[in-house]
Amino acid sequence: MSLSEQEQVRRESLNQIKDLGINPYPAALFPVNSTSKEAKDTFEEDKEVILAGRLMSRRIMGKASFAELKDSKGKIQIYINRDEICQGEDKTLYNTVFKKLLDIGDFIGVKGNLFTTKVGEQSVKVKELTVLSKSIRPLPIVKTDEEGNVHDAFTDPELRYRQRYVDLIVNEGVKEVFLARTKVMNTMRDFFNEKGYLEVETPILQPIPGGAAARPFITHHNTLDMPLYLRIANELYLKRLIVGGFDGVYEFAKDFRNEGMDRTHNPEFTVMEIYVAYKDYNWMMDFTEEMIERVAKTIHGKPSCTFGKNEISFARPFKRVTMTDAIKEHTGFDITGKTEEELKTWCKSNGIEVDDTFGKGKLIDEIFGEKCEQHYIQPTFITDYPKEMSPLCKEHRDNPELTERFELFVNGKELANAYSELNDPIDQRERFEEQLKLSEKGDDEAMFIDQDFLRALEYGMPPTSGMGIGIDRLVMFMTNKQSIQEVLFFPQMRPEKQES
RNA sequence: GAUCGAGUAGCUCAGUAGGUAGAGCAUCUCCCUUUUAAGGAGAGGGUCCUGGGUUCGAGCCCCAGCUCGAUCACCA
């Protein structure tokens, strides 16, 4: 391992600090009594404050210096005068420790008095300086000028994601994205809890990866000597809880899908699923738009936000279009009553690739995906999906070829998915068997049969509506981020080569 | 998995028909008691992603690989 010049200098400084009898990593608590933000918000001339944070810049002018102290809430300027912090003859603390041995990135604690500088900046006149933690690796230096232009931003996406801790320290606005993320989730939690629904936890390791169509990650349990799958969804477990007698259950779930990665997909991602007894999908549409409108208002103070070049309004009510009408509108093709052959022929003559494993439902889904999806920029509920594509969804009350399902599209992407849940155990068994046939035809996304889930349904599940919403995508909309990696602290990356 | 683009100092980036590797910030030394992206003066710092090839000579050209990004495929 070879160290850069700057790293060697810092390690040498560390040793010199120790030689002076100062512990660079003290154990004792530091009695912080304020933050940079609070100190400024409640500023009173000469008020004593005790602050701690990282040293982010220094302007040394002989016997006096200015520096920036950064804590979790922001930055504040500190003024350090040699004779203020070194009252006696010994000026080591200023001349040696502060000026020579401390570096940008070091954690220090200061006790001092608030004052306003000549130029009018609220600052702390330091009386006591304490080394709290020495940093031996130099941080990138990012500066912002008076006009708000950022100089030398730390921009390499690879480094930003691999070393998110650095990104959070030096890049303005990164922390805010994650604060917004938590705020989105808390707003949803509050909304559900107000209605009396119960937050629950269900298994991540599942013997049968059910509830969605996707390729799972597989692992192995040694004691049981059996394969286990990381969940691709938690739907079937939450429904079991509805069978068990809860009126409403929800879970913020990490799901795992062994598929490609791009700017809207990460192998592990967060979905909120909620199931409410005695409701149907019409109720769930009202509920969903109310929830999303509240989230948008909480984050932006208004029910709309900018996403890329689009202004998106989450004000209720959202547009509602049946899948049949959506296809008719964007292609002029009426899928009503068409046979599998007719659909296939239409696809082929309209530039949609199909293969022999595609059934009727999949063909319709392809048409929608190719021709319609991208047009729904403003929040739109697409309703009444073909039965074959929705094996866990109740048959439509007016049309046996359709289901009571909706998906919410925003900016041309699916954001949420919901059903009037299928609670007829005989029908559910038949649907699973249909899936099995698809699987045998070569559809590797077809669902597995979960016998225990069927058993639960046989005991009886009340009419129920369920909804799942992609939290990462919702946060992307709320923070105007085009990449999922920007809303995940630690997005999946290939392992990096060992540095040493 | 496919195509295209990128990889040079701690960070952001230049780089010449192929001919001794550059700037700003950061770092180090000296001077300075109210400065705020950058006070002044000077100095040090590089496996130019890795490995091959072409060439008298490669950061630059060619081949292979690695990592990241964009687009596509699969999907949410």
CATH code of A174-487, in short, is 3.30.930.10
Quickly state the pLDDT bin for A497 (edges 50, 70, 90): low
Which residue do the tokens 């349904």 mark? A457
Distance A490 CA to B6 C1' (A): 22
Q: Tell me the range of A142-156, A366-380, A466-480 where mean pLDDT is highest.
A: A466-480
Tell me what pLDDT residue A499 has: 43
Query: Is residue A102's pLDDT more than 60?
Result: yes
pLDDT at A220 (0 to 100): 93
CA geometry: angle A254, A255, A258, nearest 5 deg: 140
CB–CB of A279/A465 below 8 Å?
Answer: yes
List the one residue out of A145, A134, A135, A109 whose CA is nearest residue A124: A109
Region A370-388 average pLDDT: 91
> C-alpha distances in angstroms, A301 versus A75, A305, A478, A488?
25, 10, 11, 24
Protein-covered nucleotides of chain B (CB closer than 7 Å) are 1, 9-13, 24-29, 31-39, 44-45, 47, 66-76
What pLDDT is recorded for position A500?
Answer: 37
pLDDT value at residue A229? 94
CA of A173 to C1' of B12 (A): 18
CA distance to A117, A298, A378, per residue, from A315 (Å): 46, 13, 10
A53 pLDDT higher than 60: yes
Distance (Å) from CA A268 to C1' B6?
Answer: 27
Q: Whose CA is nearest the C1' atom of nucleotide B30?
A: A62
Percent of chain A with pLDDT over 90: 75
**pLDDT tier for residue A494 given thresholds of 50, 70 and 90:** confident
Closest nt by CA–C1' to A120: B34
Tell me how crowded residue A398 is: count the other CB atoms within 10 A of its CB: 8
The DSSP code sequence of A206-266 is ESS--SS-SPPPEEEETTTTEEEEE-S--HHHHHHHHHTT-SEEEEEEEEE--S--BTTB-
- Report d(CA A500, CA A497) in Å as an integer: 9
Give the confidence band of A357 by pLDDT, cuts at 50, 70, 90.
confident
Poorest-confidence range of A23-27, A364-368, A394-398? Answer: A364-368
Token duo for residue A313: 């309004």
How many Å apart are A24 CA and B9 C1'?
Answer: 28
When pLDDT is averaged across residues A464-472 and rounded to a whole number, the result is 96
Locate A132 and state its tokens. Answer: 């709290």
Domain boundaries, chain A: 5-133, 174-487
CATH fold of the domain at A5-133: OB fold (Dihydrolipoamide Acetyltransferase, E2P) (2.40.50)
CB A428 within 8 A of CB A436: no
Which nt has its C1' nearest the CA of A102?
B27
Q: Check whether A132 has a pLDDT greater than 80.
A: yes
Tell whether the torsion through CA atoms of A83, A88, A90 and A93 is positive or negative: negative
Pairing of β A380-383 and β A319-322: parallel
Please give the nucleotide, over all strands, whose C1' is closest to the CA of residue A214.
Answer: B75
Q: Closest nucleotide to residue A158 (Cα to C1')?
A: B68
**pLDDT on residue A337:** 86
Give yes or no for residue A23 having a pLDDT over 90: yes
Phi-psi domain of A211 (left: phi exceeds 0; alpha: psi -120 through 50; beta: other):
left
Range with lowest mean pLDDT among A150-159, A186-195, A355-364, A420-429: A355-364
Q: Taking the CB of residue A315, how many other CB atoms lie within 10 A of it?
A: 16
Distance between CA A47 and CA A184 in Å, rounded?
37
Q: Measuring from the CA of residue A104 to each C1', which nucleotide is nearest?
A: B26
Q: What is the mean pLDDT of residues A326-334?
A: 92
